[in-house]
Structure 1
């Protein structure tokens, strides 16, 4: 059985829709752990009253994404989970999402497998995995390269986000949990998948397992929509800033091959600083 871990902080309307979409799955062989990190909008009451089948763990508001996910993962592993999936609350799963996850999990039982992200508004594919080239400082978006007729099945990638990320127990046993000390909120998922890749685990994006996301609702997207000096500072230095320079530096030093680090850092700093102003 897959154990799904969902970290939440407020925005209970998203959590409700996410859990309702899981209730509609054609394959119900999974359990759900929600980690509520100090929500103040009635999330806990809603979970207790509307979703009694969901296990809820609580934080005090200081866990952020990575520690919340780790708390859920540890609980799942302690209860014998062979596969853990991390899932954000601001998305909905297609009815055959779990069914198609199992389909390819059986083909690649030792691999980490991500999901195809669809834009909830347009119903069009939005993200299908990435291949990073540290030498050229370039990220290839696989979805942009694949013809429509090939956008199915699984495709090998080199990094994946934590939205719908299926992780075998063997990965945790070899490399441990996500790095909550260095990456408390963002980047931990990418760092984790890079670490797994270096340790011999394959990464795939499953184009048959679809999740519907709301990109305009992300904190970083809203930060960019309302530009100000304060939001610019938050973008670069806040723990939830999408361009956090500390996180980027730590990620680079940990994952980029040594000879390419200076150029990769310089290019990345420039993109984060000037990109905020231009986009």
Structure 2
């Protein structure tokens, strides 16, 4: 049985749209667990009233993304889940999203799969997987390198985000859950999929499955929207900071090839210290 795990904190309108899209799936053979991490906008009450098919796990307001996802995964595995799909609440699944993910999961039963992401407003593809160079510290976007005819089916990637990530239960048995101790919010998904890949589990982007996302709603974009010294500090040191230096260091030490670690760290620190003000 597939279990879909959605961590939430407030933003009920997004959660409702996400759950409504799951109700409209062409293949409804799955169950949903929402981890409500102390929402103050009535999310918990509305979930129980309007979506009785959804199992709600309550948090204490301090779980953040990684511990929230892990709480849902533990519950799902206890129920006997054989596949887990982590999903952010600010996404909308295409009607055949689950069907297209499971189609390829049955053909690649040990693989981790992520969907092609489209901008929810323009329907333009905005993320189609990356192949990362540890030497140059740069990703190669498959959207840019694949021809239109090749933008279908599965393509191997270095890592995947967690906002639509399908994971076989066997992966958790082999490598454990997401690293909530060292990576409480950002990079936990990239770390998890990178570790899984090195342990022999293929990691693919699935161009046949589509997920609508709102890139302007990400924590990183909101932090940069009004640049300030306080925002800069949060960017570098806050739990929700996209440039968190501590998190980046942990990610690098765990995943970068050992001979490249010093150069990779220096490159990464420079990008994070300057990128907050340089990015448009």
1:97 is matched with 97
Shift in Å, 1:138: 2.0
Following superposition of structure 1 onto structure 2, how do residues 231-270 of structure 1 map, counting pairs within 5 Å?
Answer: 231-270=231-270
2:211 is matched with 211
Cα distance in 2 for partners of 1:29, 1:154 equals: 23
Cα distance in 2 for partners of 1:56, 1:96 equals: 24
Matched, 1:111 2:111: yes
Q: Note if contact 1:115-1:163 (Cα within 8 Å) is conserved in structure 2.
A: no
Cα distance in 2 for partners of 1:217, 1:254 equals: 29
1:38 is matched with 38
Cα distance in 1 for partners of 2:220, 2:135 equals: 27
2:80 is matched with 80
Matched, 1:159 2:159: yes
1:198 is matched with 198
Aligned residue-pair number:
279
The CA deviation string for residues 67-117 of structure 1, in whole angstroms up to 9 with x for no partner, is 110010011111110000100000000000011011101110110111111
TM-score calculated relative to the size of structure 1 = 0.98
Matched, 1:134 2:134: yes
Task: Report SS of the residue matched to 1:57.
Answer: strand
Task: Report SS of the residue matched to 1:31.
Answer: strand
Structure 2: runs of 5 or more not aligned:
none
Instruction: Compute the RMSD of aligned alpha carbons.
Output: 0.8
Cα distance in 1 for partners of 2:172, 2:160 equals: 16
Cα distance in 1 for partners of 2:41, 2:147 equals: 43
Cα distance in 2 for partners of 1:54, 1:86 equals: 15
Cα distance in 1 for partners of 2:43, 2:256 equals: 39
1:59 is matched with 59
Cα distance in 1 for partners of 2:99, 2:162 equals: 19
Shift in Å, 1:135: 2.2
Task: Report SS of the residue matched to 1:173.
Answer: helix
1:20 is matched with 20
The CA deviation string for residues 206-233 of structure 1, in whole angstroms up to 9 with x for no partner, is 1111100001111210111100000011
Cα distance in 2 for partners of 1:255, 1:156 equals: 17
The CA deviation string for residues 8-51 of structure 1, in whole angstroms up to 9 with x for no partner, is 00001100000000001011011100000000001011101110
Cα distance in 1 for partners of 2:20, 2:88 equals: 14
Shift in Å, 1:259: 0.9
The CA deviation string for residues 138-172 of structure 1, in whole angstroms up to 9 with x for no partner, is 21111111122211111111100101100001100
Task: Report SS of the residue matched to 2:249.
Answer: helix
Cα distance in 2 for partners of 1:92, 1:263 equals: 39
Task: Report SS of the residue matched to 2:270.
Answer: helix
Shift in Å, 1:137: 2.0
